[in-house]
Amino acid sequence: MTAAHTLDVRVIPPREKHPTIFDTFNALAPGESFVLVNDHDPRPLRYQFEFEHAGEFGWEYLEQGPSVWRVEISRKAKS
């Protein structure tokens, strides 16, 4: 059983936040995923994924507040 990849972005300075998220995503092998943990709904991030990685990512909410949001972001194989 592999350990979960948990990326808690609450402690990351704003300028590094999205680059860190995309660096983590890009380090995944197809089929792998990580769990993003945040203190608000990461909607703008989702739109950025949709524009920059259309069709290559999965997005599943595991928890939706009120204090913590968890999203499992998976990397799909390029189609």
Partner 1 sequence: MKLGLSSAAAPDAPLGELLEAAARRGFGALELREGDAHGITPDADVGAIGEAVRRATAAGLTITGYRTGGAGHDLALARLSYTLGAPILLEGPEDLAARIARARQMRNAGAAVAIVLRGESVVQDGALAAALSSPLAWDADPRVGPPGRFAEALLRRTAGALRHICLPGGGPETTLQDGMGVGDLMRRLALAGYEGTLVLAPSTTRYRLAWRSWLGHRGGGGCGSKVAETPVRQLTTLAMEGGER
Partner 2 sequence: MSELVLLDVRSVEPRDRFDRIMGAYEALGAEQTLELTVDHDPKCMYYTLRATRGDDAFDFDYLENGPETWRVQVRKAAAGARA
User: What does the binding site for partner 2 look like in residue numbers (CB under 8 A)?
Assistant: 13-15, 17-18, 38-40, 43-45, 47-48, 50-51
> Which of 4-12, 45-53, 54-62 is the region at the interface with partner 1 (rule: CB under 8 A)?
4-12
- Residue among 11 and 54 whose Cβ is closer to partner 1: 11
- Is residue 79 near partner 1 by the rule CB under 8 A? no
Q: Per this entry, what is the length of the chain?
A: 79
Cβ contacts of 44-52, under 8 Å, gap ≥ 24? 45/18, 45/21, 48/18, 49/25, 49/73, 52/22
- Residue among 34 and 49 whose Cβ is closer to partner 2: 49
